[in-house]
Amino acid sequence: MKPSHRFPSVSDNEFQELLLSLPETEGWTDTLVEYQGYWFLARTFPNVLFMQKHFQAHHQDIILASMPKSGTTWLKSLVFSIVNRSTYSFSDTPLLSSNPHRLVPFIEHIDPKLTSISINPTTSPTLFSTHVPYSFFPDSIKNSNCRVVYICRNPLDTIVSFWHFLTRVHLKWSVDEFAERFCKGEVRFGPLWDHILGYWKESLESPEKVLFLKYEELKDDTVSQVKRLAEFLGFPFSLEEENQGVVDEIIKVCSLRNLKELEMNKNGKSHPLFANESLFRKGEVGDWVNHLSPSIVENLNKITTVLAVYIFTDTQNDEDYCTAGSKAEQKKAEKIAFDVNLEKFDIAAKIKVIKEGPLPI
């Protein structure tokens, strides 16, 4: 396959003046810079800007989005298996020999100096992933027919998982110190709550283009959620496939237990800074109770209260949601509930120091 011309040429100095003007703070391993309300690694920030300005999406692309350590690796393996199930058998799937992050590359990790690249030459549609907020998407993504899947995880578990991951790359902070930075929003691609809300809002406004998945629901009812995911992507399972156990086989191949036992994930390396094995830990729901102090949990709950109200609870129990008749009316009622809560949450999101007290809700 010929290289996909996704990027024009770029000057090494294209974003240097902007980079030098941005507020910065010391992160856990590198300097962070703030831009348009979000924090990014200073050394990779030009790649994010380059993606925002130059990336050319195609209508058939699939973009997988998340905050770090929110189920990204699992989502990549599931989507790769769903869209390629007619190309590979379960005994020769590339997941057995390649880490999911190699099969579904991060757009913001692509070298900006490349004028053309060959990506996923064996797959159609083309799969990409990203950690950037929705507001940073280029117009080529927003205005195309490509589909976006966002996976969201309970922030408490995200923090613990992220902390464990970073301790393997020489993080010296305690889990509570790390969590305090989360409370201030000073984390890569954070604040986390703004990141989540951006994709949630877009999923309500454009449900045919953006699917919002919850990690906890994917864990609790994997079969139904995988079928929902396949339907959204345009690769629904036939009744024959379901009867043949194709859904169950995909879930088995993509399970944490299976992936972490593969040789290339135990000893391989897909990134110069960390080994593949650091990408796989427990994947459990609620593991935060074994790590976070009560005071940190209290502070985080102040921040995530509104998230819990309308994202981490069952919206179908909401009175307005239940009285809505059609799907369109349900979406409208859900959107109204979102806007009401978002108005309250915007106040809370501006609180940088948790000591100022509980949320005004």
Would you please indicate which residues are annotated as catalytic (active-site) residues?
131
Instruction: Find, among 205, 203, 253, 257, the residue nearest to 228 by Cα.
Output: 203
Retrieve residue 311's tokens. 């994202």
Residue 152 Rama label (left phi>0; alpha psi -120 to 50; beta): beta
User: What pairs with residue 32 in β-bridges?
Assistant: 25, 41
Query: What residue type is 19 in one-letter code?
Result: L
Q: Tell me the C-alpha distance between 37 and 35, whole Å.
A: 5
How many CB atoms lie under 10 A from the CB of residue 13?
A: 9
Which structure tokens are listed for 191?
A: 């604040």
Alpha helices in the chain (DSSP H): 16-21, 45-54, 72-83, 100-103, 139-142, 155-167, 175-184, 192-205, 215-220, 222-233, 239-243, 246-253, 256-261, 263-267, 294-310, 319-323, 327-349
Burial of 168 (0-12, 13-18, 19+ CB in 10 A): middle
